[in-house]
Chain A
Amino acid sequence: MLKVFNGMLVVGLVISAFVLYSLEHSMRKHERHIASLKREISTEKETIKLLNAEWSYLIRPERLERLAAQHLGLRQSRPYQLVRREELTGMVSMRPTVEPSSGSGDLIGNILKEMQ
């Protein structure tokens, strides 16, 4: 009886040792994985910061102004170029309008013809 019990204990010990070892092993693996992920995250964060700084460096107003003048021919806006929304509707109605009901068939084609 005692022998059987001892034998069971030994078997139990071996099994639990194995389970423990494999648990430990897989845990180490996970830990390594976590550490590498953390490293990656911090590298990514660092890269994001660097890119943010670079972006901010690239959108310096002084640089944008220079580039806009050089490549797009843009200048400082003049007060007469600013139009209010209310005025905009007035300006639109002054243009030659095309009556959609006047022609039949292709409406857009009519408008294009009118414009030519």
Chain B
Amino acid sequence: MGFVNPVDPNDPAPSLPGRNRLRLVMVGFALCFALIAGRAAQLSMLAPDVHRTARSDTYRSPRPDIVDRNGVLLATDIQIASLWANPRKIIDVEEAIELLTAVAPELDAKVLHKKLTKDRAFVWLKREVSPAQQRAIHNQGVPGVGFRNETVRVYPMGRLAAHTLGYVDVDSHGLSGMEKFLDDQGALYTASLSDPAQRASLPAQLSIDVRVQHALASEIQKAVDHFRAKAGAGVVLNAKTAEVLAMVSLPDFNPNKPKHAQEQIRMNRVTSGVYELGSVIKAVTFAMALDAGVTNLKGKYDARHPLVIGRARINDFHAQKRILTVPEVFLYSSNIGTARMALDVGLEGHQAFLRKVGLFERMITEIPEAAAPLLPKRWSKLATVTAAFGHGFAVQPLQGAAVTASLLNGGRLIRPTFLKREHDTVGGFAKQVIKPQTSEQMRYLFRLNAQKGTARKAAGEALGYRVGGKTGTAEKVVNGRYSKNHRLTSFIGGFPMEDPKYVVLVMLDEPKAVKGTFGYATSGWNAVPTAGKVISRIAPLLGVQPEFDEEELAKLAKLRAKDQRN
């Protein structure tokens, strides 16, 4: 408005006041665009990070695979397609049925017809369609049918180690065994395996060895069949690390079809049942007496007469009716001798020792099914006497195996585990329960019993592997009374006895006397040879070298000759 810009007098164009305004607008726009461009650049550069954090909030870690100690796959998640249909969209029902049954003959035409004529928008036709079938159905191009992928937990090894693995429900929640552990107590462990960035997780590695598991399972199955037992169970434990290499309880179930898994007969006897394991408990009494110093291997016990406590009389099964030395008490499994040993230690000492080896409390491992020991209600003199040889004192077999491992491995009690454990990390868990010298005496007694005593047949089956063991035959309580005809036989032992590496426990529930056992159904005739067979199969797998003494060499030559004849 008549104002002349004095700053720019040389400008040929007329200096209009609008010019400055224009510049202002241009600068303003330039600033705006720069801002927008800058923000756009910032967003595009930093976007991936923002994106990723937003996604990981909704990320659910996948169920880890389960592998054995050598990396063999035991459980995994796979995607399986399921066939569904929308009946409203199917034009020709008969044609669709014809096409579908041609590819999937297991589909029932009548059921299919009923499903496809319903007035609904969604019906499942078949769960778990194989990839080949899926392709074939897809290629037929039937309108109104489709597939939906579902994650299914599969156990490729089937029944093998079913009780250790457990199983999951349809929503992939662990219901028992390690599967439950991975969800509940082991959630931290599960989380440590998963890698959210990769949307994957490392497998959970168990201490189980499938080869040992199979050997144990097949031998116990054979024994259950042969001796017509109601059930059988067994454990192989690493004596130094307390890792469970195999755990079997028969009858078992197929975790892929866990419909029957809940049945009482199929329960996991090794951890969720408690049994009067005479074999284990007697060995504990011996270790206690030797460790306390109330007797030694040269000690003697009077087993001429039954032991009378109040109105109860304690008898021996293999009655010798004479004075027995300590090794003889062990060899003949004398109830009288063992009871006297416990009495020598005293009621207080007995309880204190049982508490020390953990037999008074429920043993906790990864497997959630763990039963607490069944103890005498009142710790009287009679209770100590009967508990000394295992009457009225029931524990879970796995706990018994762990305690026996501690008696043989130099006195170190270690909580068993189903996860692979590094050898050098064991020290932290171990608790010294008996002196190493006592453990040495126990090894001597176990070995002697396998050479001359009730566990002879175990050493006979496993030539060269220096087996040592203790047997137990408990009468089962039927209708509130101990029954002579319902027995629970057990064997607990280890090998090689000079430095036990593995502990084996075998238990048979109500084995019968069969041909070849001369009417006997005690442990020495069924549980013991079964354990021997197990050891002869697993020792070469576990790298234990056989060594033979004179007697064994003779037997070996006989075996060889017999093999060559066949």
Is A22 part of the contact surface with B, judged by Cβ < 8 Å?
no
Partner of B563, one of A59, A60, A78, A84: A78
Residues in A with CB closer than 8 Å to B211 are: 61
A to B contact number (C-beta, < 8 Å):
62
What is the bound-complex CA distance between A89 and B131, given in angstroms?
A: 55
Nearest Cβ on chain B to A97's Cβ, whole angstroms: 26
Give the nearest-CB partner of B200 in chain A.
A45
A 51-93 binary contact with B (CB < 8 Å = 1; else 0) = 0111111011110010000000000111110101000000000
Nearest Cβ on chain A to B442's Cβ, whole angstroms: 26
Contact A62 B214 (CB under 8 A): yes
Partner of A59, one of B72, B77, B131, B556: B72
Contact B546 A62 (CB under 8 A): no
Interface residues of chain A: helix, strand, loop or mixed (majority):
helix
Contact B556 A56 (CB under 8 A): no
Contact B73 A79 (CB under 8 A): no
Contact A79 B556 (CB under 8 A): yes
Contact A56 B548 (CB under 8 A): no
Contact A60 B556 (CB under 8 A): no
Nearest Cβ on chain B to A66's Cβ, whole angstroms: 11
Report B512-565 residues with CB < 8 Å from chain A CB.
Answer: 536-537, 540, 545-546, 548, 556, 559-560, 563
Interface residues on B, range: 20 to 34
Contact A49 B76 (CB under 8 A): yes
Contact B546 A79 (CB under 8 A): yes
Is A46 part of the contact surface with B, judged by Cβ < 8 Å?
yes
What is the bound-complex CA distance between A79 and B158, given in angstroms?
A: 31
Contact B78 A49 (CB under 8 A): yes
Contact A52 B214 (CB under 8 A): no
What is the bound-complex CA distance between A76 and B533, given in angstroms?
A: 11
Is A50 part of the contact surface with B, judged by Cβ < 8 Å?
yes
Residues in A with CB closer than 8 Å to B218 are: 62, 65
Report B225-246 residues with CB < 8 Å from chain A CB.
Answer: none
Contact A46 B546 (CB under 8 A): no
Partner of B73, one of A52, A80, A82, A84: A52
Partner of A61, one of B154, B214, B464, B540: B214
Given known A53-B78, A79-B548, contact A61–B156 (CB-CB < 8 A): no
Is B185 part of the contact surface with A, judged by Cβ < 8 Å?
no
Partner of A80, one of B160, B465, B559: B559
